C-alpha cells in the first residue's frame, strides 16, 4: 500500500483567507476521490483508470507489459513537460 506524504502543517495566507490544511491519502483513496468528482478532470480520471484497467486485463507477455509501462511513463513525462512549459 502506498501512502502519500503527510503534510499536516497549517498555513495562513498573508492577505487573510482560510488557513490551508493538507491531508495524506492512500493511492487508492486518491483514485476514488478523483473518480467521483463531477468535473472535466474527474471525467478524465475515470476514463484514464478504465482504460488502464482494460489494458491490465489483456493477456500480455512480460515484454509487452514492459512496453506498456514504458509508453505510459513516456506519456506522463510529456504531459509534465507541457505543464512546465505552459507555466513559464
The tens digit of pLDDT for each residue in 12-69 reads 556 667 777 787 888 788 888 888 888 888 888 888 888 888 877 777 788 888 888 8
What's the first-to-final CA gap in the chain, in angstroms?
A: 35
φ/ψ of 20, rounded to 5, equals -95, 135
Q: From the centroid of its chain, how far is CA 33? A: 11
Average pLDDT of 59-81? 86
Residue 76, C-alpha cell as written in the block:
506522463
CB of 13 closer than 8 Å to CB of 22? no
**Largest Cα span, the chain:** 57
Alpha carbons within 13 angstroms on the beta-carbon side of residue 53 total 7
Amino acid at each position: 500500500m502506498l501512502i502519500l506524504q503527510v503534510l499536516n502543517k497549517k498555513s495562513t495566507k498573508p492577505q487573510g483567507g482560510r488557513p490551508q490544511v493538507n491531508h495524506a491519502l492512500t493511492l487508492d483513496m486518491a483514485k476514488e476521490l478523483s473518480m467521483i468528482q463531477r468535473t472535466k478532470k474527474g471525467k478524465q480520471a475515470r476514463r484514464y483508470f478504465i482504460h488502464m484497467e482494460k489494458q491490465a486485463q489483456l493477456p500480455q507477455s512480460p515484454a509487452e507489459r514492459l512496453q506498456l509501462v514504458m509508453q505510459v511513463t513516456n506519456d506522463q513525462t510529456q504531459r509534465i513537460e507541457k505543464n512546465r512549459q505552459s507555466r513559464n
